[in-house]
Amino acid sequence: MSDTTQTLKLTSQGAMKILEAAIVKAQQIDVPQCISIVDSGGHLLAFCRMDGAFVMSNTSSRRKAETAAAYGIPTGDIPEGVDLKLAIVTNGERVNLPGGLPLIVNDEIVGAIGVGSGTGAQDLEVAKAGVKALEGAKEFY
């Protein structure tokens, strides 16, 4: 076994491609959104608060993305009870609101997208459009 390994990395160009696809979807459904794209460590790579999106969704979209990147599962899928404990222990930095999806390529988490400002279903729809823009990314249904 080796002491090091090669990993995939989401580029800023890839993050912008995801962001642009998510913005297009939000425009199509006529719901202005806050959209955050993070790398596998939860660091912000790209962000947009569309005109008319709720300002407080800046934070929730980023937290959704960070949570999805950390756990490798969609937000909203963390078991009830565990989600509250995670929120408490992380001072609210982990959230279980729908709209966060990990970006998984070749079974490796390369980042995540978080969307907020619509309903949970709308946020998820926009996030799915972003994921679909990343070549080779696992899609969530």
Reported as a single tens digit per residue, the pLDDT across 55-84 is 999 999 999 999 999 999 999 999 999 999
Distance CA 40, CA 32 (A): 26
pLDDT at residue 18, as a whole number:
98
- Model confidence at 8, pLDDT cuts 50, 70, 90, reads very high
- Model confidence at 87, pLDDT cuts 50, 70, 90, reads very high
Which phi and psi (to 5°) does residue 99 adopt? 125, 0
* CATH code of 74's domain: 3.30.450.150
Residue 11: how many CB atoms within 10 A of its CB?
A: 13
pLDDT at residue 66, as a whole number:
98
Q: Compute the Cα dihedral for 134, 135, 138, 139 and give only its sign.
A: positive
Q: Is residue 7 part of a domain?
A: no
> Token digits for 99?
């709209």
Neighbour-count burial of 132, counting CB atoms closer than 10 A to its CB (0-12 exposed, 13-18 middle, 19+ buried)? middle
pLDDT at residue 76, as a whole number:
95
Q: Is residue 35 part of a domain?
A: yes
Neighbour-count burial of 59, counting CB atoms closer than 10 A to its CB (0-12 exposed, 13-18 middle, 19+ buried)? middle
- Residue-range definition of the domain harbouring residue 57: 12-132
Closest-CA residue to 66 (of 36, 34, 106, 33): 36
Neighbour-count burial of 107, counting CB atoms closer than 10 A to its CB (0-12 exposed, 13-18 middle, 19+ buried)? exposed
Q: How many distinct structural domains can be found in the chain?
A: 1
Closest-CA residue to 70 (of 87, 49, 58, 56): 87
pLDDT at residue 1, as a whole number:
80
Summarised one tens digit per residue, pLDDT across range 13-63 is 999 999 999 999 999 999 999 999 999 999 999 999 999 999 999 999 999
Q: Is residue 4 part of a domain?
A: no
Is the pTM higher than 0.75?
A: yes
Q: Is residue 5 part of a domain?
A: no
pLDDT at residue 141, as a whole number:
83
